[in-house]
Amino acid sequence: MFPNLNEYLTSVNVNVEDLLSFVSQHLKELANNFDHYFPEHEDPRSGNLWINNPFNEDVNTCNLNLHEKESLIELCSDSTLQSSYKKKPLTQFWISLENEYSSLTHKAIKLLVFFSNSYLCEKSFSSLTLIKTKQRNRLDAEAELRVSETSLVPRLPRILAAKQQQTSH
């Protein structure tokens, strides 16, 4: 992109020093107002970093009640769970602990699902913009959207084996 920007700036005869000053000023203002856009007290990670790595977090800094803190200490001292944590994805690890540490699991899954839901929503909107175009604006995109968002892989050889080939006349 930068070769294109340089070519454009030279073609319209823009003073590069003025542009750099403008961009620099904007970035400084953004850095000053960063706390306004992302306040620290509203950060969902603060006090919840134990979800990411329960074996590395200080129990006193966690947003947990006394019973949950005791459960987390018990979880941290289990070496078999530590090896399980290293082998499994984070969501699978927490789901596997649902019977033993139900209160911790429910808190962890509640925060983890929050982020995956926003991801799936964004993914669906992107798929919809690809499906519905100017030429296909009257299309009922429900079936196409369902197919584009599924994680199932079609078994094409099995589907095609059940179909008969069309012969030419």
Quote the percentage of the chain above a pLDDT of 90: 13
Q: What's the confidence (pLDDT) of residue 34? A: 81
Distance CA 97, CA 91 (A): 10
Sorted by where each begins, the domain ranges of the chain are: 2-38, 45-132
Average pLDDT, the chain: 83
Q: What's the confidence (pLDDT) of residue 20? A: 87
Residue 116 pLDDT > 60, yes or no?
no
Q: What's the confidence (pLDDT) of residue 114? A: 65
Distance CA 26, CA 29 (A): 5
- Band (pLDDT 50/70/90 cuts) for residue 122 is confident
Distance CA 25, CA 4 (A): 23
Q: What is the DSSP letter of 101?
A: S
Q: What angle do CA 73, 77, 81 make, to 5 degrees?
A: 110
Burial (0-12, 13-18, 19+ Cβ within 10 Å), 37: exposed
HSE-CB for 74 with a 13 A CA cutoff? 10
Distance CA 106, CA 48 (A): 13
Q: What angle do CA 71, 93, 57 make, to 5 degrees?
A: 50
Q: What's the confidence (pLDDT) of residue 146? A: 83
Distance CA 77, CA 71 (A): 10
The structure tokens listed for 145 are 């959207």
| Residue type (1 letter), 12 | V
Residue 10 pLDDT > 60, yes or no?
yes
Residue 63's nearest CA partner among 2, 129, 107, 10 is: 107
Q: What's the confidence (pLDDT) of residue 169? A: 67
pTM of the model: 0.48
- Band (pLDDT 50/70/90 cuts) for residue 24 is very high
pLDDT in tens, 81-115: 988 998 999 889 999 999 999 999 998 888 887 65
Residue 31 pLDDT > 80, yes or no?
yes
Asked whether the beta carbons of 97 and 82 are under 8 A apart, the reply is no
